[in-house]
Structure 1
């Protein structure tokens, strides 16, 4: 059943911005500065620090003394940090923005206009690369039958024919920059905090649609994003066990929590191969102990997903799941390997 929002809730919505800081004080300062230049008034800017180093916290305090700062005693991950920020926020709408991203004057205005539509639960902008404003980083979100989410227009030119130039629905959008209705976010329980990092935005968008809400992509709203600056200072992309580990355990839960059981059963052999492949990569890079830990957590998360499945959900979104051949999945795995090596070289 399609959800609708009352007119009173959309008359003149206030917006709270939530930014997660983890050893990125200088980037966070720049992000906050851009929000303060927004044509649409930002009621409050909440910066949630995920237990950064003391030196970084000192920088944050010195440079953003006028901002609503919250220092957590432990790193709760992206999902946990965002949920904390929402609990402290007072706005009708919440604007999640990565610390390594900046907006332009009318970014938020266009997102708010879209979110006022009665059936819309979240809106995402067109995210472009900061080092090349003519290339897209994130936008429309796609999903395949193995639970891998991606942005099909990543690194495509802004004016490319295949890139939508009008507002449209999308299966999911990146939490790098996302405007959500606070009441809807709370009603759905926020981001799943089992997802320490990665996949939490995709999973939340699936819950939105299963509850009758739509997710919109707004190409006229633009955000500029630095490539993984918000995490790379603490993640060795050369080995990248952090990303592989979290993406795969989260993928395991997302699959069993949301995908039709018939689809999971049909694709079980290649699903098993996909998890085996990445666990072998972990074993090769970090040893059998790390790979065994990942395998154990994948099983635990898969069981959690099954336990959290809800009956009576709107499953229309499943028609957007894309199928690929075995050869294509092999290519994806090899491409990811090349990607990790490239990022390592860039960071050295």
Structure 2
């Protein structure tokens, strides 16, 4: 049984960027397997990665299958042979301690299905990638309202990205980014893999939502990673159309305005009180010192989440 399998989907990404992501994964722990799934028009990357490492399997699709469909090829190969699976973007880097600390968290908390660490820009600033479940209004405001006018909707957009929460605190969050999804592999047998109706965008939100229905989906800022995060759909009209199509499919699936589950989940996420800010430093120090600690996170009146930190 492999400890961690990993899938990276590429589409004409720079070789150096891909190498950095692969090396980050391979230096994290020894019992691993990585699948590099290539959606590019040609297989030029084969010459670099086909014999890059015995732990890396290069898969060329011959066409662009889409983000989720390509990841599913790798997930299908490991669904019964790995303990954890990492969905990883090629523009991500992290140090060697991250994976083992996430494994430890998951082993101590079998009711966690998905974990996302703190995500930082290359300059060290925060990426606010913890979100509530989207409504049509959220996506319209983020994508189509011109930048200067977004200040008029700042409160709504900040609430969507949970910016009123302490991003140095552990949070149970219903909508986590697809750039780094550390998933208990057995979860796929219960909730399914990526929904292949989403060619690009919204597939991570959809999968996270399905996992959150049965397991905890946790933001875990005790560890952090670096993510390039170019927001391609804000720069490219064709990619913007793909984002719009996926959004329509998402709301056709889950509901446009009559989504009672979204309302209930978001109310809890927005109103919850998580860990107190002034206790974060002490808890982090205890974790680093190896002291056993269990943190209780209050999820409003309906839920209480206990996280064993080591």
- Out of 64, 72, 82, the residue aligned to residue 71 of structure 2 is 82
Counterpart Cα distance in 1 of 2:222 and 2:53: 30
TM-score (norm 2): 0.70
8 A contact 2:87–2:180 mirrored in 1 = yes
1:224-243 alpha-carbon deviations (Å, 9 max, x no partner): 11133xx96xx8x64x2223
1:179-194, aligned counterparts within 5 Å? 179-194=182-197
Counterpart Cα distance in 2 of 1:224 and 1:253: 30
8 A contact 2:195–2:207 mirrored in 1 = yes
- Out of 51, 56, 62, the residue aligned to residue 45 of structure 2 is 56
1:224 alignment counterpart:
226
1:233-279 alpha-carbon deviations (Å, 9 max, x no partner): xx8x64x2223212222212222322476359xxxxxxxxxxxxxxx
2:23 alignment counterpart:
33
Paired residue secondary structure (1:204)? helix
1:109-163 alpha-carbon deviations (Å, 9 max, x no partner): 2322333313211111111112x02x0124422344326468959999xxx9953
1:289 alignment counterpart:
none
- Out of 244, 251, 258, the residue aligned to residue 248 of structure 1 is 244
1:127 aligns with 2:122: no
Structure with higher helix content: 1
Paired residue secondary structure (2:8)? strand
Shift of 1:177: 0.5
2:136 alignment counterpart:
146
8 A contact 1:36–1:42 mirrored in 2 = no
Gaps of 5+ in 1: 1-11, 265-312, 323-348
Q: Name the count of aligned residue pairs.
A: 250
RMSD of equivalent CA atoms:
3.3
Shift of 1:195: 0.8
Counterpart Cα distance in 1 of 2:185 and 2:128: 23
1:22 alignment counterpart:
11
Counterpart Cα distance in 2 of 1:205 and 1:74: 26
Shift of 1:102: 0.9
Paired residue secondary structure (2:68)? helix
Gaps of 5+ in 2: 143-156, 271-310
Structure with higher strand content: 2
1:176 aligns with 2:175: no
TM-score (norm 1): 0.63
Counterpart Cα distance in 2 of 1:56 and 1:170: 36
